[in-house]
A and B are shown apart, each in its own frame.
Chain A
Amino acid sequence: MTMTNSTESPMPREAVLAGTLVQLADSLVADFDVVDLLTVLVDRSVEVLSVDAAGLMLVAPDGDLRVMASSSEMMRVLELFEIQAREGPCLDCYHSGRPVVNQDLEASHGRWPRFTLEALAAGFQSVHALPMRLRGSVIGALNLFSHEPGELDQADIVAGQALADVATIAILHQRAAAEAQILNEQLNYALNSRVVIEQAKGMIAERAGLNVEEAFSILRNHARNHNLRLVEVARDVIEGTLAASALDQPQTAKPS
């Protein structure tokens, strides 16, 4: 098999699609780069769906759609994505959560005046957008452009939606990894806080001639009285910036 198979009988589309899905699933390992993965996805969308350009738009925290990956770096194509923060098939698809397919640009002036002008000027005749859905909410859309006015058939739409779904999974996977990172930082903080508090208890016990339980009630009492966090007081004690003798004595520690 040669590298260029355009003149030979092409691989069946299903085979290319299956291969793409397997490749994308294999990429979902630790430390994968989500932008790299989405770029592979838009390139394969062009190949599998016989369109001329593809792009992925995601909704940013501020609610605007932003382009995450594009099969073309041509300025005119990129501008078509930018415009869709305000109007266009991606925005409609994002709002409705439904595919916006087979939009004949010659007939859509009224719907998206500025987008239609720019798309026609860039040489495109038809445009499609497929939603990236997640449990009832939509996080973005896969945008497809064709130079020909031809239509996507039902099989194309199903295949395109499968690719958009994989992109959604990739993004979720990456968000889960980011959440794990935050949780890990909290875990480390909790582990270290615990160590610091135990060390401070020992230090106060030694200096004041108390057992560790008594030392802890002094530490906790001081933190409460001064509206400080326990770990802050403990850290000051072990770093020597707060002398053990300067801590407030709890009332319960009075000799009876």
Chain B
Amino acid sequence: MSLAGDRRLRILNLLVRDGGIEPETRRICNVSAKVTGMTGAGIMLMSDDVPQRSICTTDSVASLIEQLQLTLGEGPCVDAHNLQRPVLEPDLAQPARARWFGFAPPAVEAGARAVFGFPIRIGAARLGALNLYRDEPGPMGDEQHAEALVMSDVAAEAVMLFQSNAPPEMLAAELEAGDGLHYLVHQATGMIAAQLEVSVGHAMIRLRAYAFANDRPLREVAQDVLARKLRFHPESGENDPGS
């Protein structure tokens, strides 16, 4: 059997053995971090070059890394998906080439010192990306890189397998298992569109801009909008707490 075949078999063994009550997607994230020797991992589904939903993360830092990319539309997994190649940043605090001006500072502050994105795809079908991070700076070893490539293929097959059992036009239950961030954000976007009498696209930009300007997580801001603690006003452009 080839080297890649050996890796694959070992990864599949880990996925089966580490069974238990955890959702399958969470297990894939855990094994991704384990085989690549990283601190944590997350998997983002993307469509139309936009991050759509995080289906699993191993820990709160990995979760923040995905949330930042959902909020800002930039970061290692967004680039890995758009460029269709691995994107490696061994030193996020002092990168050789400055990039991700919105993403990098809060990610470093949370403890992500090195981040790596690997596209998740099958043939020409582009599904999203695997996010990996380490709490220490430093490059990825050849061995770790090879593991990450095989792992992203396994993740792609898993996503396809989940979705192939889903009813038509529905997202597979396994892929819905991620946190509820996305629902809240999209619901809040609909409310803001009604408040401002603008398109949902425009409303989404306003919501993200508000979260970024006030240095608050997108989820929190969305929750405030849904709880009617925060309204957007068309004229002033200012936002104040609802009565």
Q: Which residues of A does B touch, CB under 8 Å?
A: 30-31, 176-178, 180-181, 183-184, 186-195, 198-207, 212, 229, 231, 238, 244
Contacts and interface: CB of A to CB of B under 8 A. Distances in A.
B164 A30 contact: no
B200 A199 contact: yes
B171 A212 contact: no
B52 A191 contact: yes
Given A177-B122, A190-B171, A191-B47, A202 B164 contact: no
A91 B144 CA distance: 51
Given A193-B169, A231-B169, A183 B125 contact: yes
Contacts of A30: 121-124
Contacts of A187: 45, 47, 127, 159, 163, 171
B226 interface: yes
8 contacts: A176-B123, A183-B164, A192-B47, A194-B171, A194-B186, A195-B182, A202-B186, A212-B226
A246 to B, nearest CB: 14
A202 B53 CA distance: 18
Given A30-B121, A180-B123, A186-B163, A199 B48 contact: no
B122 A191 contact: no
B34 interface: no
Contacts of B195: 206
A201 B45 contact: no
Contacts of A200: 190
Nearest to A244: B194
B160 interface: yes
Contact of A186 (B45, B124, B168, B187): B168
B126 A199 contact: no
Given A177-B123, A177-B124, A188 B48 contact: yes
Nearest to A173: B123
